C-alpha cells in the first residue's frame, strides 16, 4: 500500500527538482548522499570493485538538484566488458550505479527521473546494454531483467536475481558469457586527489 501511495504522491507532486550533469563541485555532496543512502558498507560491494579508480562513462554522470541547486539524487554509468561473444570478442556495456536519492526526498519520482534520463542518454550515445545489481521489482519497470545475465558473472558475491540487464540494442547480449570487467577511462592521480 505504501508503494501505491508513494507513486500517487509522486504523480501529483510538482517537480521540485531538475536532472543535470554532475560537475566537479558535486563530489562532496554526492559522496555524502551515497554514504547516507547506501550505508557504510557501500564500498565493499561487487559493483564498487568495477568502479574503483575509474571515471564514469562520458556524459553519463547525472544528479538531481532541488530548487536551491543542492544535490538530492545521483546516478552514474560505467564502461564495462560484459563477458565475450562465442567468437571471443569482448562485449561492451555499461554498469549502472549507484542510484541514490536523499531519504528526505524519497517518493517524489527522483529515482525514476534519474533512471529514465540515464537510459535515454546511454541510448542516444549508442551504447548496447546496461547492467546493474539491484532490486528486481524496482528496476523491472525500466525494462531490466535477469534473463540476459544468466551467463555473466560479477567479480564477487552477487545474488543472481539481483543481477539485471537492459538491452538498448536488441540482441546485444545474446551469447555473452563470462566475467564483467572494468573498462573505460581511469582516474589520474590528480583526479583521485580531488575525488577523495
Here the CATH number for the domain that contains residue 67 is: 3.40.630.30
The number of domains in the chain is 1
- pLDDT for 72 equals 98
pLDDT: which is higher, 94 or 42: 94
pTM of the model: 0.86
Rounded to the nearest 5 percent, the helix, strand and coil shares of the chain are 35, 30, 35
- pLDDT for 3 equals 45
Q: pLDDT of 82-140, one tens digit each?
A: 999 999 999 999 999 999 999 999 999 999 999 999 999 999 999 999 999 999 999 99
| Residue 192, all three cell numbers | 583521485
Q: Which domain holds residue 65?
A: 2-195
Amino acid at each position: 500500500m505504501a508503494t501505491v501511495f508513494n507513486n500517487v504522491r509522486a504523480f501529483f507532486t510538482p517537480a521540485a527538482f531538475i536532472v543535470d550533469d554532475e560537475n566537479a563541485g558535486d563530489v562532496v555532496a554526492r559522496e555524502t548522499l551515497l554514504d547516507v543512502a547506501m550505508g557504510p558498507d557501500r564500498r565493499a560491494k561487487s559493483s564498487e570493485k568495477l568502479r574503483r579508480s575509474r571515471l564514469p562513462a562520458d556524459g553519463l554522470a547525472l544528479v538531481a538538484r532541488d530548487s536551491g541547486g543542492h544535490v538530492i539524487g545521483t546516478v552514474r554509468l560505467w564502461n564495462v566488458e560484459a563477458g565475450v561473444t562465442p567468437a571471443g570478442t569482448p562485449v561492451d556495456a555499461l554498469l549502472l550505479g549507484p542510484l541514490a536519492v536523499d531519504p528526505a526526498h524519497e517518493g517524489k519520482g527522483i529515482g525514476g527521473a534519474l533512471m529514465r534520463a540515464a537510459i535515454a542518454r546511454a541510448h542516444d550515445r549508442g551504447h548496447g546494454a546496461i547492467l546493474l545489481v539491484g532490486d528486481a521489482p524496482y528496476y523491472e519497470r525500466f525494462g531490466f531483467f535477469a534473463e540476459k545475465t544468466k551467463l555473466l558473472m560479477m567479480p564477487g558475491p552477487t545474488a543472481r536475481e539481483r543481477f539485471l540487464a537492459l538491452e538498448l540494442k536488441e540482441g546485444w547480449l545474446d551469447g555473452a558469457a563470462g566475467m564483467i570487467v572494468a573498462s573505460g577511462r581511469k582516474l589520474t592521480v590528480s583526479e583521485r586527489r580531488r575525488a577523495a
